Structure 1
Amino acid sequence: MTQPTPSLDLTSCDREPIHVPGSIQPHGILLALDPETLSIYQAAGETEGTVGRAVDGLPGEYAEAVLGAQAVHLIRSAGVQSTEPLYLGNIPAPADPSRHLDVTAHRRDGIFILELEPSTPHPETAAQTLATVRRISAELDAAPDLARLVQAASREFRRLTGFDRVMIYSFLDDGSGAVVAEAKADSLDPFLNHRYPASDIPKQARALYLQNLIRVIPDVDYRPAPLVPPLNPTTGRPLDMSDCSLRSVSPIHVQYLKNMGVAASMSVSLVVDGALWGLIACHHAAPKLVPYELRESCKHVGQILSQQIKAREDAERHRQTARLSVARDEFLEGLARAGSTENGLLDAAADLKKLIPSDGAAVVFRGKVSQAGHALSEAQTRELADRLLQSDLSDPFATNSLVRHHSPAEAYSAQASGLLATVVSHEDPLVLLWFRAEHIETINWAGNPHKPAEPGKGMGQLTPRTSFETWKETVRHQSRAWSLAEVEAARRLRRAVLDLRQQAALKELNVQLRRTLADREVLLSQKDLLMREVNHRVQNSLQLVNSMLHLQARQTSDAQVKAQFEEATRRIMAVSTVHQHLWRSDQIQSIDFGSYLEELREGLLEAWGKAWAEHIKVHAGQVLVPTNEAVVLALVVTELLTNAVKYAYAGAPGPIDVIAREDGQRVLRVTVKDQGVGMPGEAAPKSGLGSRLVRSLIGQLGGELEVKSQSPGTAVILTVPLAARATR
């Protein structure tokens, strides 16, 4: 049974190792050298007429023996280290000094590669060449837009080089290319606006175009000159000739040019932002040698054109970005006025459509759909939004052929062949979508791009297509492409809507927080009112107890019992004063201890008599003490004052100072100081109620008590770390 012949295409070109062809174009000579000794590893080219030696006799020889001392001096003095070829100069051909050779050199994989080409006298001086390049640069700079820029470039490039046809070829997003400008001889058929499939320039060829900015084929009918030996003896591999201008050309590309009727070609790369934007493609109907000096001028003009293309594209992108930014700001102002971002978006589908030029727009929020313009059914729009929400997209999704990504889109390609969408939120589902209607386009291909390739006669390889006649194709299910500025506008809108939603959420949170704080203030106010009432009642109760103790003290005749009643009365008065202070204050969480000490002094003077009034003095600034600590401190200070009154001056009035201040890290120091007789041992019985009470209370406070005997008098210092800072 005969097996069917599989269809063939040129994608096998992508696998062709064009950087290691193993041969060169024979109009020059290539020598692979040891970078230190300059001994020859490999050689290629027509060497007998140039250096007077057969090519197979060159490996193992030294460069000086083959090329002469002048060439070696050029090589040594240049100090070549780069992979980019460097022009070393011009030397006479050893076999015929009347002829001269242009010498370039570069390094690759530790090998020094020398290329020698015939030097053709240039009709212009260096100054004239520079003037020509400047004139071309000025001509390009004057072009008002990209279309007229590339057309001027093709015209000036043809004038500079003399090729029959010069085309400006631009790569498209799908890998194909289009001729966007052309200057040609009148006898040639035009290729302007013709499209070429991606397979015409395979991937590895594009990589080399990005690496080598100029490529020349002087004669497509050349016979390749092989490297001798084929493998480099130091690496055991074919010589990598990626950067060689003499590198032999792919047989498929040679046949391709022959099929076009081209005898010589040159291409100059156009690189914009590090990417291969396109080529200046030059064709000639007869063999044509391009001298090194002219090639350098062409390379320079190509770089000028690349910069001009970048400037035009950047300017257009900037204009688009500025317009879209103004539209976005107006759109967001409308959303802000709407109050609710989501409801504002649902009501603003028409404004969303105007924001980014489109034929339709939609907002999908929590399953709700709002649309404007050429809209799909709600079910179709919701399905698209669901597909986007199921992905992990954070960047906008943009396509000018939705059917390639979502086959059901064929049903509504008339309304929405193109889609630009951004998922604002996956968690609280919100998707913004823009649609572009189908744009039916007729493409003029240079030959049928879909025709299967054919195997070469007697060869196990493919041959390029032979026809370049205009072949028209009608393309459907595509829209106008979304620009980078439009995609960026969608990205920025997403961020802005997210910010608006976050601001709205924060605003709502602040409202809730203020409401909670207001409720808390009411509760605290109620609590304060209740606590003041409690303090008032406690104070009244303590005053009642105090009155009863006073009554009992007057009724007893026992001096010791009477003294105990009076001590108890003073202690209760100290506590009562705290509660009285709290009842009168607006703040129940803390008290001003300095102010409290003044009130305590007044209360104690009522018991001790006015004779003590001019002797007991309080020195204290504002010291805030938590309420729970204030009661305990009040009792301790009362005991210390009572002790000083009883013992310092044998019961007679004398100077007593009470000093209170806060030191540093919330440490309260209270000093009770007198100028009396000092504190004898019997004056402070360690087993008495007062001493036990003071020790117990200081233990509760986590404080320390220090007694210093002075001359005269005694100072008792109480140090207490306060709790978390009290507030008024």
Structure 2
Amino acid sequence: MADSDQFEVDLTNCDREPIHELGAIQPFGFLLALSTDWLIRRASANIHEFLGVEAGELLGTSAIALFGEHAVHTLRNRLAMLRGDDAVERVFGLVIANGRRLDFALHLVGDVIVIEGENSGDEAASDAGSAIRAMMARLDATQDTTAFYREGARQVRALTGFDRVMVYRFDRDGSGVVVAEAARAGIGSFLDLRYPASDIPQQARKLYLRTPFRIIADVEADPVPILPRRDETGAPIDLSLSVLRSVSPIHIEYLKNMGVGASLSISIIVEGQLWGLFACHHYGHRRPSFERRSIAELFGQMFALKLESRERKALQSYETSARASSDRLLAAVAGDSGLLDNPDWLGAMLRETVPCDGIAIWIDGKCAHSGLTPPPEAFAALVRRLNAMAAGRIFATDRLAETLPAAGAWDDVAAGLLAIPISRSPRDYVLLFRQEKVRTVKWAGDPHKPAQLGPHGPRLTPRKSFELWSQEVRGRSEPFSAAEIRVAEMLRASLIEVVLRLSDDAQEERRRFSERQELLIAELNHRVRNILSLIRGLVRQSLDPDADTRNTIALLEGRIESLARAHDQITQDNWSAAPLGRLIETEAAAYLGGKSRRLVCSGPAVLLHPNAFSTLALVFHELMTNSAKYGALSDNGTVQVEWRLDDDGDLRIDWREHGGPAVKPPKRQGFGTTIIQRSIPYDLGGRAEVRYALTGLEADFCVPARHVAASNSAHGPGAAISISADAVPDRAVLRGAVLLVEDSLIIAMDAEDILVRLGAERVVTAASIGQARREIERDTFEVAVLDVNLGNETSITIADTLRAGGVPYVFATGYGEQLRLPPEHEGAPIVQKPYTLASLAQALAPAVRAR
């Protein structure tokens, strides 16, 4: 090329960049390429930083001695698990021959084994299953699509710690829009901004399908070359599946132009297509551990499955309704074929399934129309254009002027078209029109890249401006969705059947349509079953699949809190026997609130060993829950609980309800009833009998003597329990910002929701002392909630800082009353875990008032 001025710069320059063959990796890890007999064929230049041996000295040697027999055995086992061309296996925390603890990623490129390693993270091993279960439950609790997207972004940000996490959805033209985001305060919002298709080149989109997770830990880091760069055939190594793959200089410049220091992306793949991305930005370098990144990748896959399930459910509902409308249309036209000449009637029928602003019917060269349509003289040219290109298929466009330039003269009334052919030759049509929809699109900067030479040679330079750039879009209608086009296919089949009078051609068309429909239903059924099986595997066997999700979660929370309360009472006495009376009082206080005085208890002082105590905690929790919902405590009745020791030393407990609504036996046995009737016999070897007397539920229990110990105090006969109600506050407790120091992701997210419900303007979370100090330096807080135990450190030093600054604080702990605080903090309120709305309200209200 003699003159660079003659080089033609266009938007395909980026598309042609070989980003999978850059021959380098990011410096936070190393790469080895091995032969099938584990001889080293290639090595990254930084290998000595991890293994203590220079790359040149390793080439041609065996990796077995380098890693050690045990590590190689583990890696070989993982290699054997690879399935599919794009499979990548992971090994976390593997100790190699030099004693270093590394995380590995393994994949195959032809007959080459590619091993990538990086230092294991210092954070404690995560319970990935529990984390994903909790995250999925929060996604399931969202009411609409917007909330679903927003919760997904929030979960990924909590998991990765990036400053900004966006849910980025691709449109049919390749551009993308930010449909949800979660970001730290003070960095602005990208919500609803649109980015042109050229911002993500085609080869990058293909890699997003092959490798759903991508991290760029530091845009300022220098890439590390792989040696040798080319093999004996002159080919560079294919890094398509590489976890550490270096970054295109063009993309690095793009990120720097945005002010981004690190980025992370998780592909959202629906039905094998790239639906969108979780796009994460950090304004400094950041590298979550490999294990945490793998959990984020798994969450992205689960999010995509649930998104697919939601979309298919909506599609199924829409297509069921459309099928019913199609059947009504078919029945009406079959009885009176003249209805096809009535555009007003046909338009009213079709609008039920495919919204439109106007309709035209073209049959045998004659046209009838209704609503907003082109002028009558324009139809002949339009039909000729359709005959030349549609070939008997549905045709849909949101900009008719691109297909028929003359349509620009009337695109204000008919900018979009859905053409349904209803015969073969001469071709007849039902034409559905949509009027122009003028809208303003908010672009993240001018979407038209300047065609100029950049610092990386004769290639397109990334744009430098990302400020809001508004564009008014005219001449387009609301697009016809894929679901509407499928419904149009259904309508077409129905109309053809009538027009052709059930001729052989119509029968064949109907058969083909039926096959496509059955295939769609079979595929939908298959995918729904797979998704349901996956979800069912994530929840406990005890969940009722027919119950309302919120009620089910509330029931599970109640049962878990009941066990937590029982556990606290047992551990108060160093895991020894605990009083039965205290168990009943605690359950009444925690669950019944103001109704607790209608629970009358009497019996001798009895202690229960830990196993029996936990079992009876669940039983009494279910009894009180059922009574408060359906029994005596749901009305104005009372419950009497009496217990005694029989001659054999067995504990006999009688539960009697009086004054409530008439009792009817349940039609089916739920999980709660199972707990009441089977826990004591199964877990303790005792007996349980439940009778559904009309005047009130009666239950008798027998706990064997081996689970019972005597005590010196007693409940007097007929004594009403006197305790304070654990009630939900009737007004906001908080007003400003709250600092939450909690090292468990899921617990922190639950506590954050509770604090917001209590009135917090916003909640700033920190998982470590260092992060908490940084938040205190940059922000002002009304109050702080401090988890005492933060793994290898405690939050006492944070309490010292807050105390010096006059900021009130409360401690949170899972250690019950065994917690011992330093003298200067002995007066601070303490909240027992798990967090509840009432416990946090009771602790925070006096702390805030005392400020």
**1:256-275 residue CA offsets vs partner (Å, 9 max, x unmatched):** 11111111111111000010
How many residues get paired?
499
Matched, 1:88 2:77: no
Equivalent position to 2:402, from 393, 401, 404: 404
How is 1:234-633 mapped onto 2 (pairs within 5 angstroms)? 235-340=233-338, 342-343=340-341, 348-457=346-455, 459-503=457-501
Query: Where does residue 522 of structure 2 map in the other structure?
Result: none
Conserved? CA contact 2:194–2:441, under 8 Å = yes
Query: Displacement, 1:424?
Result: 1.4
3-state SS of paired residue (2:501): helix
Query: Displacement, 1:336?
Result: 2.1
Q: Name the CA shift for 1:232/1:178 in 2 (closer, same or farther; >3 Å).
A: same
Query: Where does residue 568 of structure 2 map in the other structure?
Result: none
Query: Displacement, 1:478?
Result: 0.7
Distance across 2 between alignment mates of 1:3 and 1:107:
40
Q: Which amino acid aligns with 1:15?
A: R
Conserved? CA contact 1:350–1:372, under 8 Å = no
Query: Where does residue 78 of structure 1 map in the other structure?
Result: 78
Query: Displacement, 1:313?
Result: 1.3
Distance across 2 between alignment mates of 1:356 and 1:93:
63
Work out which of the two has the higher radius of gyration on C-alpha atoms and give 1 or 2.
1
Q: Name the CA shift for 1:392/1:401 in 2 (closer, same or farther; >3 Å).
A: closer
Q: Which amino acid aligns with 2:374?
A: L
What is the TM-score of this pair, normalised by structure 1? 0.66
Q: Name the CA shift for 1:31/1:362 in 2 (closer, same or farther; >3 Å).
A: same
Conserved? CA contact 2:25–2:44, under 8 Å = yes
Conserved? CA contact 1:442–1:472, under 8 Å = yes
Conserved? CA contact 2:420–2:492, under 8 Å = yes
Query: Where does residue 222 of structure 2 map in the other structure?
Result: 223
Query: Where does residue 54 of structure 1 map in the other structure?
Result: 54
Distance across 2 between alignment mates of 1:28 and 1:264:
16
Q: Which amino acid aligns with 1:38?
A: W
Query: Displacement, 1:91?
Result: 3.1
3-state SS of paired residue (1:173): coil
Unmatched runs of 5 consecutive residues or more in structure 1: 507-728
Matched, 1:130 2:126: no
Conserved? CA contact 1:103–1:115, under 8 Å = yes
Q: Name the CA shift for 1:241/1:451 in 2 (closer, same or farther; >3 Å).
A: closer
Distance across 2 between alignment mates of 1:505 and 1:278:
45
Distance across 2 between alignment mates of 1:151 and 1:489:
30
Conserved? CA contact 2:337–2:498, under 8 Å = no
Query: Displacement, 1:463?
Result: 1.9
Q: Which amino acid aligns with 2:464?
A: T
Distance across 2 between alignment mates of 1:264 and 1:505:
64
Query: Displacement, 1:165?
Result: 0.2
Query: Where does residue 619 of structure 1 map in the other structure?
Result: none
Query: Displacement, 1:327?
Result: 2.4
Matched, 1:111 2:90: no
Distance across 2 between alignment mates of 1:474 and 1:400:
16
Query: Displacement, 1:144?
Result: 1.7
Q: Name the CA shift for 1:196/1:79 in 2 (closer, same or farther; >3 Å).
A: closer
Return 404-413 or 454-463, whichever deviates more.
454-463
Q: Name the CA shift for 1:27/1:319 in 2 (closer, same or farther; >3 Å).
A: same
**1:162-208 residue CA offsets vs partner (Å, 9 max, x unmatched):** 11000000010000011000001111121100000111111110111
Query: Displacement, 1:486?
Result: 1.4
Distance across 2 between alignment mates of 1:308 and 1:351:
33
Q: Which amino acid aligns with 1:406?
A: L
Matched, 1:151 2:150: yes
**1:551-606 residue CA offsets vs partner (Å, 9 max, x unmatched):** xxxxxxxxxxxxxxxxxxxxxxxxxxxxxxxxxxxxxxxxxxxxxxxxxxxxxxxx
3-state SS of paired residue (1:425): coil
Q: Name the CA shift for 1:351/1:74 in 2 (closer, same or farther; >3 Å).
A: closer
Query: Displacement, 1:356?
Result: 2.0
Query: Where does residue 30 of structure 2 map in the other structure?
Result: 29
Q: Name the CA shift for 1:381/1:355 in 2 (closer, same or farther; >3 Å).
A: farther
Q: Which amino acid aligns with 1:90?
A: G
Q: Which amino acid aligns with 1:251?
A: P
Return 489-498 or 328-337, whichever deviates more.
328-337
Q: Which amino acid aligns with 2:443?
A: W
Q: Name the CA shift for 1:502/1:47 in 2 (closer, same or farther; >3 Å).
A: same
Query: Where does residue 175 of structure 2 map in the other structure?
Result: 176
Q: Name the CA shift for 1:467/1:336 in 2 (closer, same or farther; >3 Å).
A: same
Conserved? CA contact 2:24–2:246, under 8 Å = yes
**1:53-91 residue CA offsets vs partner (Å, 9 max, x unmatched):** 112222111102333333322233334354412123433
Query: Where does residue 198 of structure 2 map in the other structure?
Result: 199
Distance across 1 between alignment mates of 2:461 and 2:468:
20
Query: Displacement, 1:367?
Result: 1.1
**1:239-279 residue CA offsets vs partner (Å, 9 max, x unmatched):** 11111101111111111111111111111110000101000
3-state SS of paired residue (1:107): strand
Query: Displacement, 1:451?
Result: 3.8
Conserved? CA contact 1:331–1:355, under 8 Å = no
**1:281-310 residue CA offsets vs partner (Å, 9 max, x unmatched):** 111111111211101110111111101211
Query: Where does residue 16 of structure 1 map in the other structure?
Result: 17
3-state SS of paired residue (1:452): coil
3-state SS of paired residue (1:460): strand
3-state SS of paired residue (1:170): strand
Identity of aligned residues (%): 37
Q: Name the CA shift for 1:355/1:380 in 2 (closer, same or farther; >3 Å).
A: farther
Query: Where does residue 68 of structure 2 map in the other structure?
Result: 68
**1:427-455 residue CA offsets vs partner (Å, 9 max, x unmatched):** 14311100000011111111101141432
Q: Which amino acid aligns with 1:187?
A: G
3-state SS of paired residue (1:472): strand
Q: Which amino acid aligns with 2:89?
A: L
Q: Name the CA shift for 1:339/1:397 in 2 (closer, same or farther; >3 Å).
A: closer
Q: Which amino acid aligns with 2:68?
A: G
Conserved? CA contact 1:353–1:372, under 8 Å = no
3-state SS of paired residue (1:503): coil
**1:455-487 residue CA offsets vs partner (Å, 9 max, x unmatched):** 223733332111111111111111111122211
Query: Displacement, 1:328?
Result: 2.1
How is 1:91-102 mapped onto 2 (pairs within 5 angstroms)? 91-92=94-95, 97=99, 99-102=100-103
Q: Name the CA shift for 1:161/1:290 in 2 (closer, same or farther; >3 Å).
A: same
Q: Name the CA shift for 1:339/1:94 in 2 (closer, same or farther; >3 Å).
A: closer
Distance across 2 between alignment mates of 1:261 and 1:130:
35
Query: Where does residue 576 of structure 1 map in the other structure?
Result: none
What is the TM-score of this pair, normalised by structure 2? 0.56
Q: Which amino acid aligns with 1:370?
A: A
Query: Displacement, 1:505?
Result: 6.3
Q: Name the CA shift for 1:186/1:499 in 2 (closer, same or farther; >3 Å).
A: same
Q: Name the CA shift for 1:267/1:396 in 2 (closer, same or farther; >3 Å).
A: same
3-state SS of paired residue (1:303): helix
Return 383-392 or 58-67, whichever deviates more.
383-392
3-state SS of paired residue (1:479): coil
Conserved? CA contact 2:92–2:120, under 8 Å = no
**1:102-140 residue CA offsets vs partner (Å, 9 max, x unmatched):** 1221111111111111111223x443x432221111010
Conserved? CA contact 1:341–1:497, under 8 Å = no
RMSD: 2.2
Unmatched runs of 5 consecutive residues or more in structure 2: 505-851
Q: Name the CA shift for 1:465/1:93 in 2 (closer, same or farther; >3 Å).
A: farther
3-state SS of paired residue (2:321): helix
Query: Displacement, 1:354?
Result: 4.9
Conserved? CA contact 2:31–2:47, under 8 Å = no
Conserved? CA contact 2:343–2:360, under 8 Å = no
